[in-house]
Amino acid sequence: MKKLSVLAALAATPAAASTGLEFSLHNTNFVVLVGFLIFLAALVYFKVPGILGGLLDKRAVQIKSDLEEARALRDEAKEILASYERKQREVQAQSDRIVASAREEAVAAATQAKADLAEAIARRLAAAEDRITSAETAAVREVRERAIAVAIAAAGDLLTKQMTADAAAASIDAAIVQVEAKLH
């Protein structure tokens, strides 16, 4: 009620400043003041300020609960972010280990490949040397055989030219005697 009287006093001040203080229905300022006071009284009678206060209190409680929920969600989001950052660091460390392992395996594979290549080259070199030795041996044998064939042919030609019928018969008789001696 005190509020209403203070409000009425403040509202009456402009009416008192008019041409005169008339409490008549012909004075528009007075009629507006009375209507305003009746409106304020109706608001108080129907407890509109209490209803508005209650609505504002409910809204304040709702806002507080929304803020608390937002804080909880923010905290949860921070935890999830920290979890993902941890997982990202773990994945980064794992990928670094995989890359290091792959490098080590690549170095080991390269070393093994070099060793295998050296071994293959040595085997091929040995096989080539063996083929060269075989070819040399075959060439020497072929040259000998040719030399023998040429020598036999030359000796045959020479014997044919130098041999007479008596000498041929004597040579045949001597060969028969040699064969007989070896067989018995």
Contact 40, 32 (CB under 8 A): no
Query: Do residues 2 and 58 both lie within one domain?
Result: no
Residue with tokens 């935890």: 79
pLDDT given for residue 15 in this prediction: 47
Query: Would you say residue 13 lies in a domain?
Result: yes
Q: How many domains does the chain have?
A: 2
Query: Do residues 39 and 69 both lie within one domain?
Result: no
Query: Do residues 130 and 71 both lie within one domain?
Result: yes
pLDDT given for residue 153 in this prediction: 83
Residue 76, both tokens: 């949860």
Show which of 99, 120, 137 is a domain's final residue: 137
Query: CA-CA distance, 136 to 130, in Å (whole number)?
Result: 10
Task: Find the domain containing 68 and state its range.
Answer: 54-137
CA distance readout (Å), 16 to 5, 20, 22, 38: 16, 6, 8, 19
pLDDT given for residue 3 in this prediction: 59
Query: Do residues 60 and 117 both lie within one domain?
Result: yes
Query: Do residues 80 and 118 both lie within one domain?
Result: yes
Query: Do residues 40 and 58 both lie within one domain?
Result: no
Query: Do residues 3 and 62 both lie within one domain?
Result: no
Contact 152, 145 (CB under 8 A): no
- Mean pLDDT, consecutive 10-residue segments, the chain of 184 residues? 54 52 81 94 93 95 97 96 96 96 94 93 92 90 87 79 76 86 81
Query: Would you say residue 146 lies in a domain?
Result: no
